[in-house]
Structure 1
Amino acid sequence: MKKTIMLLTAVFLLAVARLAAADKWTGLSKYDSQNATLVAARNMGNRVVFMGNSITELWLSVDPGFFAAHSNFINRGISGQTTYQMLVRFRSDVVNLQPKVVVILGGTNDIAENAGLVYNENRTLGNIVTMVELARLHKIKPIVCSVPPCASYYWSKTATGIQLKILRLNERLAAYCKQQGLPFVDYYTPLVKGADNALNPDYTKDGVHPNLAGYKVMEPIILKAVSKYVK
């Protein structure tokens, strides 16, 4: 009997550990309380969800005034996430909030091979396409953004051919949006500089994430795209 109890306890603890690891990987619970508040609140029909990785998440802390000036903008970025992880939480962090618009910015961490995932361009494109399809199915206007320029990822030891991969993914995203009649926001062109296609050093401290000046370049671009659907 004692051995049985010990075995059941071990199985339970293993299950809990696996659930905790899965939650950490997906980030599903990160915005639970904020999402619950929004779901319960009156929806004015003008919500805009910014779905992304650290480039989106840090936007809120680097330039809080941007989101303060647009109270209908909802930041749902999670640092380090790939499009695989974004796709898993798309329902809880986007669909359930019933926004008018979703701004999708992802892919750079796929290329960086975060979470131990070898980069596969077709799958990354497919993840973004699936997010677009989910949004359209629920009558949410999707806006797809280009991956910002980057010459190297300071944390990645496996990523290679970064600049070419970013260019190719952006080309395919732009082509898909054109074919589907969807807005495509080009952050890449105004942020890139140099023969190595790096993020302009004036707009970054680490070569990957925009600084305040970088976000100030991005903001009028996304505002123009969003204004077509939300006034």
Structure 2
Amino acid sequence: MKQVYWLRVLVICLGILLIVASAAAYIAFSFARVFYSSENGVRLEPLGLSSYPTSPIRTSPDIKRVVFFGDSRAESWPPSVQVSGWEFVNRGIAGQTTAQILGRFAAHVTPLQPDVVVLQLGINDLRTIPIFPESRAVIIANCIANIQAMIRQSKDLKAVVILSTIFPVTAPTLERRIFFWSDDIARAVAEVNKALRSLAADRVILLDADSILLDANGLPRPEYMEDTLHLSPAGYEALNLRLSQILSDLPSS
């Protein structure tokens, strides 16, 4: 009887191991497939210039234009509905680094002749640090330099820049932790944000996302986070309250 019992235990354990191994293999395959597709898509069109049409026509000379520019966090940023007299155009592309975003500024922002450019970008640079830890300092320096370049180009268009700090990250899922995730990403975000806060100047207004999205303990508010990297609708709603205040305070001319 004992032999039968232990045989059953062994079979159950082997079954559990098989299920776990199958799940891990499926997750690995899914990530590999997504990565492979994404990598080859970038090779075909590194900057994603075909993602957007030519500039929309301004509906009225009395309407001012805001352009959201950046990565998926900018792409997901809905228009602020609390203020009138503004139109909102989105030019975010998911997965892009600051180098890619800078590379398409002339195609995706300049033709729009915006009055305001809202910048939210940088996380995709910093996500590469666990893959290339020896290049950490260079990755951070390039991220900051690319953002500074976009600020200069925006100001050359006579636009006001609303510079958002990089949104915080929350606890990663198991899949992300397995595939090149590290707590150093959050530390790098804090480091870049410190540099971004120093860039506030004439026609460069800082939107400090941490002051909105973090709780008293410095942790992301759960109700504001959709997943490890992305905000929930409530998170964007909270940001838009601040954005609306900034837009309302801008001079009319």
Question: TM-score, structure 2 length as denominator?
Answer: 0.69
Q: Evaluate the alpha carbon distance shift between residue 24 and residue 227 of structure 1 in structure 2; reply closer, same or farther with a 3 A threshold.
A: farther
- Could you tell which deviates more after superposition, 155-164 or 165-174? 155-164
Task: Specify the code of the residue in structure 2 equivalent to 1:58.
Answer: S
Offset, 1:96 = 1.2
Length, aligned pairs only:
204
Q: 1-side partners of 2:185 and 2:169: how far apart?
A: 7
Unaligned 5+ segments in structure 2 are 1-39
SS of corresponding position for 2:77: helix
Quick check: 2:66–2:86 contact (8 Å CA) kept in 1? Answer: no
Offset, 1:217 = 1.0
Q: 1:141 aligns with which of 160, 167, 179?
A: 160
Q: 2:238 aligns with which of 195, 205, 217?
A: 217
Tell me the residue number matched to 2:225.
204
Q: Is residue 143 of structure 2 the alignment partner of residue 103 of structure 1?
A: no
Q: Is residue 58 of structure 2 the alignment partner of residue 54 of structure 1?
A: no
Quick check: 1:46–1:72 contact (8 Å CA) kept in 2? Answer: yes
Question: TM-score, structure 1 length as denominator?
Answer: 0.75
Offset, 1:152 = 4.9
- Correspondences of 1:149-160 after superposition (within 5 Å): 149-152=168-171, 154=173, 155=176, 157-160=180-183
Q: C-alpha root-mean-square deviation of aligned residues, in Å?
A: 3.1
Q: Is residue 206 of structure 2 the alignment partner of residue 187 of structure 1?
A: no
Offset, 1:24 = 3.1
Q: Which 4+ runs in 1 deviate beyond 2 A?
A: 19-25, 40-45, 64-71, 116-119, 151-156, 226-231
Q: 1-side partners of 2:60 and 2:183: how far apart?
A: 44
Unaligned 5+ segments in structure 1 are 1-18
Tell me the residue number matched to 2:196.
173
Task: Specify the code of the residue in structure 1 equivalent to 2:231.
Answer: P
Quick check: 1:23–1:29 contact (8 Å CA) kept in 2? Answer: no
